[in-house]
Amino acid sequence: MSGVPDSALVLVVNSGSSSIKYQLLDPDSGEVAASGLVERIGEENGSIEHRADGRTVEHEGPIADHKAGLRLVFDMFAETGRDLAGADVRAVGHRVVHGGEVFYEPTLITDEVEAAISDLSELAPLHNPANVTGIRSTRELLPGIPQIAVFDTAFFHGLPEAARTYAIDADLAAAHGVRKYGFHGTSHEYVSGRVAEVLGRDPESVNQIIFHLGNGASASAVRGGAPVDTTMGLTPLEGLVMGTRGGDLDPGILLHLLRTADLDVDGVDRLLNRDSGIKGLSGVNDFRALRRLIDDGDQRAQLAYDVYIHRLRRYLGAYLVELGRVDAITFTAGVGENSPDVRADTLAGLENFGIEVDTARNTAKDRTARRISPPDAPVAVLVVPTNEELAIARAARKVVRDLESRDT
């Protein structure tokens, strides 16, 4: 057993359509008491890997639905010494992808809130239904514990009007909720706060650009703690090149394909969400696999990489101008934290802008938040590990504390 008392812990749940990622952690220290992953829900070959206090427990076999998966997870918690339903777990924090115009703060989940998140499924058909399924199951299994929804769109709710507005028929856009919402907000908010800490500066005084580069990828421009622009839009399809999503496209391409290729709306959906990006160009979506292909001289893989970097630099240029003065440029998430090449190539040749990467610092094997620019460079370039679970746990705990102090 770890030394963290149960009463301090928050369970964070991130439900996908056929998976659930979870962590039980201490929102103060970030210490993780347990974590795990349920995969292939609804299939014959479901699996769960549960890690707790240095032990790993596994389950293989069919998992009928999210509730069945969570039941098995709670059994595993019991096996590793934690009774979630009985122990004093402070709160459950749920990652919810789309909050629409309705939710822009961490929100205590009631029946009405659950229904409203479900109603937003039109805006996020791949994500919100899965989030709601996870929420419903967890609420049924842990009825006595407050559950809080933390929205991926929340941080970007206050984007300036000019940055969030699409130049289409204004009435049509308003009637259908068409605006730039932005995603990965929990990560951009957490990382922007960490950057100020690492620099030892007041967040209000820092202008920064953040590249969150994972399977999904997005960038943000943040002025004094408030975002002024971000790459993802109405949906998480806009902006940077990603593992299986192409980011920005001429919308005329879609019309052209609908008219001339053997594709209907679902076919275009599949193309945009699953068969584009690095995968569409090279055949692989994982960045490590892409690197191996490039090292073997694969031309398609090289082009995929070049397109990926070209897009990053295009947004870097845009955000440098939007911010006017930039104090820090930060890389985070799987690719951002682990790929020195991506960092160096994105920022190459920008010494005239005060942007430089120190090769030794950039390639050092270091997993902590750190500066990789020369100490005297005008713009700090950083690598900061993101921690969305910790940010969600802290947000959930804050909602619970605020409710308790209101009640007393």
Q: What is the binding site for ligand ADP (CB under 6 A)?
A: 214-216, 243, 286-288, 333-335, 338-339
| Least distance from ligand ADP to the Cβ atom of residue 217, Å | 8
Angstrom distances, CA of residue 144 to CA of 56, 135, 408:
28, 14, 19
Closest alpha carbon to 125 in 263, 17, 215, 21: 17
**What is the SS3 assignment for 398?**
helix
| Least distance from ligand ADP to the Cβ atom of residue 168, Å | 29
| Least distance from ligand ADP to the Cβ atom of residue 40, Å | 16
Q: First and final CA of the chain: distance in angstroms? A: 33
Which residue's CB atom is positioned nearest to ligand ADP?
334
| Least distance from ligand ADP to the Cβ atom of residue 298, Å | 16
| Least distance from ligand ADP to the Cβ atom of residue 285, Å | 7
Active-site residue list = 152
Angstrom distances, CA of residue 306 to CA of 273, 301, 374:
20, 9, 26
CB closer to ligand ADP, 19 vs 208: 19
| Least distance from ligand ADP to the Cβ atom of residue 288, Å | 4
Angstrom distances, CA of residue 300 to CA of 293, 305, 335:
9, 9, 19
What is the C-alpha separation between 220 and 231, in angstroms, rounded?
7
| Least distance from ligand ADP to the Cβ atom of residue 7, Å | 30
The H-assigned helical ranges of 126-284 are: 128-141, 161-164, 170-175, 185-199, 251-260, 265-273, 277-282
CA dihedral 276, 282, 288, 294 (to 10 degrees): -150
Closest alpha carbon to 277 in 248, 252, 313: 248
> H or E element: which one contains 381?
strand 380-383
What is the C-alpha separation between 12 and 21, in angstroms, rounded?
8
CB closer to ligand ADP, 71 vs 361: 361
What are 200's two structure tokens?
């030892």
- CA dihedral for 191, 193, 198, 199, sign (positive or negative): positive
Number of other residues whose CB lies within 10 A of the CB of residue 350 = 18
The H-assigned helical ranges of 176-325 are: 185-199, 251-260, 265-273, 277-282, 287-295, 299-323
Strands 91-96, 380-383: parallel, antiparallel or unpaired by DSSP?
unpaired
CB closer to ligand ADP, 146 vs 336: 336
Length of the chain: 408
Q: Is residue 217 exposed (0-12), middle (13-18) or buried (19+ Cβ within 10 Å)?
A: buried
CB closer to ligand ADP, 133 vs 339: 339
Q: Which amino acid is it at 253?
A: I
CB closer to ligand ADP, 14 vs 80: 14
| Least distance from ligand ADP to the Cβ atom of residue 310, Å | 18
